[in-house]
Structure 1
Amino acid sequence: MPNVTGTLTEVGGGHLVGKYPEIHFTLNAPNSKSGVMLPTEPVTVQPASDGSFTAPLQSTTDMLDDAWYTLSIQWLDAGGNYVRADFPDWALQVPTGGGSFSDLFGKPPTNTRMVYVSLTAPENPRPFTMWLEQNPLNDADPLNTGKLYEWRQL
């Protein structure tokens, strides 16, 4: 699994002394990849005393459906009791190599349709992926069929 690393060092301008946050990463919906079902059960990490954390997450770029992690930050007291939670409106998309938290979050795209233009069909396409059977580098190529295919959900 790819690791996502980050640092949570300040809260309201002060350091984390006396504060005990937990970060919960949750898939936006159940998903699948390589024949494995992926539920929405959160992955919970607690930052180290210096605020750094590492979250072992599944890569979202190779999942069957469009996928991203949402997150929440829960604040606990010294006894581990819930105090409050933050729910930022971020979407974390994880590549197969993982990466730094600050480089990976953003809003999911509003247009999730993909069209491949090539002489060969894409491998393991997501539902509703389209393929234009054509050589994009040579319009005079006799193999350019102009046929448009679409994969559907069953």
Structure 2
Amino acid sequence: MIDQTKPNFRSYSARRAMTFVELLAVLVILGLVAGVFTVGIAGKFNQSKRELTKSQIGIIDAQVQAYYTQKSVWPPSDKGLMVLTTPETTPSSAYFLKPDQLIDSWNNSFYIIVPGPDGHPYEIVSYGADGQPGGTEENADLSSLHLRD
């Protein structure tokens, strides 16, 4: 006859190992869920930076138009957009910008190209996350000519 009062060490060890395996499975599943969530959030974060930069380009574009309306010339490429930040070149505060408004979401400067491509009088450009012309995804350039893209 089997003594029911003594614990069976073999069955206790097997149950303990199974609990550990279950714990590992739960941790793996949680890690996978966290990884998927993080990737999704990072994508939205990059997208929001691009949208914010497009908004900034729209604001700068309006200020360049106001500059042209008052002075009848476009801001020169060699001085860049900084002419919109100095009071002596902006007699009216209608198109005055703070220097930090000329920095995109990736802490890179915006650029103005005068004359712009394809017969446009100018183009305002952000070179994306890498700060270099060209690129794809978050490194792709953003332009005042393609604000709707």
**Which has more radius of gyration?**
2
TM-score by length of 2: 0.20
Instruction: Identify, as 1 or 2, the structure richer in helix.
Output: 2
Instruction: Identify, as 1 or 2, the structure richer in strand.
Output: 1
TM-score by length of 1: 0.20
